[in-house]
């Protein structure tokens, strides 16, 4: 990859690290102000936002990133308008369903009814944010992407601290910070879409609605399956153990997710580069893809080992004593995030080949396996069992996605040394 591309990758990486560091720096404060049970409520609210997010918008924003390279500016604006219309309809429908069955969800999640309704709205606003971020990503406008993402994280954290320390709120203050930040930046993203003429809400072509739904709807099982791997375990922990255990589990997961953000930053730059190389369809381009993929896997492994060493040395200095049990299970989350990063390097083959249905099937099947694994491991090994099940599930997902990617888009995966030699020659040439 060119130095220019690596420079943009560095900006994406820096933005993700800063965005991860903001809530991470809050941990010494929040874990001393909030109880593990309070932290559990915050975790369950975030889970519900993620679940609703799989349904509000029906994942059609992913189609925008692909059609960006195929449609002219005006057509793309109408296409985005169609996606926003789908968002409005689906969000309203989800809101009505939650309004009717909210009492049952309260019993399951321990999240108050009004906050469940708020979670639906937050998921819809986050969808608008994702559209704008996607356009900046595929347009390689890394600086704007980074400023917007980091600013949202800062407002989220500052508002949370204000409500907790000025207005003496507990978990409610943390959630209000998230709601205000998402609402502010969701409306800002909508304004920027209109201002830059990237959004045309006039009647879009029927083919745009069909195409967006054809792309997004098959991904809904994929999203739900992925959520099952990181959400069902907390429901199971809450049911078989208690809400305090959910808080401890979530804290350990949050440490792991900090590493995951680095993998996500890599993916944001790697995916457009991967699509271009796959489009070239030359032997040299394929060897470059294989070489970069293997090197990224090695990087994720080293990163996990370094993160685990850091937590071994400094964990209790960062978090409150009530959360000390999280240190005992944190290794499994770093291991799981290693497999997650490796998984992100191979999903692009499915998107490029428009085999999103196959990806959904694999993810949904893995999600079901994850649920049964969590039930068995939690029943037999308690909180650590949930963390072990998480790592196993992430490995199973990566392994099967990689195996199936070889069927839909064959690559020279066994040409390790030639691929590394091609990468080395590219680096020397740059």
What local confidence, expressed as pLDDT, does residue 205 receive? 74
What local confidence, expressed as pLDDT, does residue 8 receive? 61
DSSP summary character for residue 202: S
CA distances (Å), origin 42, targets 111, 301, 327, 344, 388 = 9, 30, 20, 27, 23
What local confidence, expressed as pLDDT, does residue 1 receive? 47
> Is residue 2 pLDDT above 60, yes or no?
no
- The model's pTM is 0.69
Strand runs labelled E in 355-411: none
Candidate from 24-38, 149-163, 293-307, 329-343 with smallest mean pLDDT: 24-38
Q: pLDDT digit string (tens) for 97-108? A: 999 988 888 887
Report yes or no: 397 and 347 within 8 Å, Cβ to Cβ: no
Q: pLDDT digit string (tens) for 126-168? A: 999 989 988 888 787 878 888 898 899 889 989 998 998 888 8
> Is residue 336 pLDDT above 90, yes or no?
yes
Query: Residue 303 corresponds to which tokens in the numbers above?
Result: 């990163």
Task: For the chain, give the mean pLDDT.
Answer: 83
Mean pLDDT, to the nearest integer, of 206-212? 82
In the block, tokens 């999240």 appear at 111
Mean pLDDT, to the nearest integer, of 394-415? 90
Residue percentage of the chain with pLDDT more than 70: 91
| Cβ-based neighbours of 320, under 8 Å, separated by 6 or more | 28, 31, 32
Interatomic CA distance for residues 230 and 42, integer angstroms: 15
């Amino acid at each position: 990859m060119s130095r220019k591309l690596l420079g943009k990758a560095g900006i994406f990486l820096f933005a993700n690290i800063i965005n991860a560091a903001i809530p991470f720096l809050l941990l010494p404060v929040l874990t001393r102000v909030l109880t593990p049970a309070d932290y559990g409520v915050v975790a369950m609210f975030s889970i519900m936002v993620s679940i609703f997010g799989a349904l509000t918008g029906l994942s059609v924003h992913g189609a925008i990133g692909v059609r960006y390279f195929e449609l002219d500016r005006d057509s793309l604006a109408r296409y985005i308008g169609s996606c926003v219309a789908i968002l409005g309809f689906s969000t309203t429908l989800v809101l009505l369903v939650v309004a009717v069955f909210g009492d049952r969800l309260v019993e399951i999640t321990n999240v108050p009814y009004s906050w469940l309704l708020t979670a639906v709205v937050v998921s819809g606003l986050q969808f608008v944010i994702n559209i704008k971020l996607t356009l900046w990503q595929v347009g390689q406008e890394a600086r704007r992407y980074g400023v917007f993402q980091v600013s949202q994280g800062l407002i989220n954290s500052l508002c949370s601290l204000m409500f907790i320390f000025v207005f003496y709120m507990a978990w409610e203050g943390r959630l209000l910070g998230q709601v205000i930040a998402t609402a502010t930046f969701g409306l800002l993203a909508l304004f920027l879409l209109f201002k830059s003429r990237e959004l045309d809400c006039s009647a879009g072509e029927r083919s745009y609605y069909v195409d967006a739904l054809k792309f997004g709807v098959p991904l809904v099982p994929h999203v739900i399956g992925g959520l099952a791997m990181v959400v069902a375990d907390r429901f199971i922990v809450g049911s078989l153990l208690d809400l305090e255990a959910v808080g401890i589990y979530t804290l350990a997961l949050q440490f792991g997710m900090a590493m995951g953000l680095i993998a996500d930053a890599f993916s944001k730059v790697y995916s457009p580069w991967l699509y271009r190389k796959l489009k070239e369809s030359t032997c040299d381009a394929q060897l470059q893809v294989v070489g970069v993929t293997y090197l990224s896997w090695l990087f994720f492994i080293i990163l996990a080992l370094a993160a685990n060493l850091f937590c071994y040395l400094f964990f209790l200095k960062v978090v409150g004593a009530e959360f000390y049990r999280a240190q005992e299970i944190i290794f499994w989350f770093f291991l799981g995030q290693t497999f997650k990063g490796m998984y992100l390097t191979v999903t692009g083959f499915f998107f490029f080949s428009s085999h999103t249905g196959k990806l959904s099937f694999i993810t949904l099947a893995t999600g079901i396996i994850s649920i049964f694994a969590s039930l068995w491991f939690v029943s037999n090994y308690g909180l650590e069992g949930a963390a072990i099940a998480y790592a196993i599930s992430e490995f199973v997902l990566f392994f099967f996605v990689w195996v199936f990617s070889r069927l839909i888009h064959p690559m020279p995966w066994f040409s390790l040394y030639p691929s590394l030699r091609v990468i080395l020659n590219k680096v020397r040439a740059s």
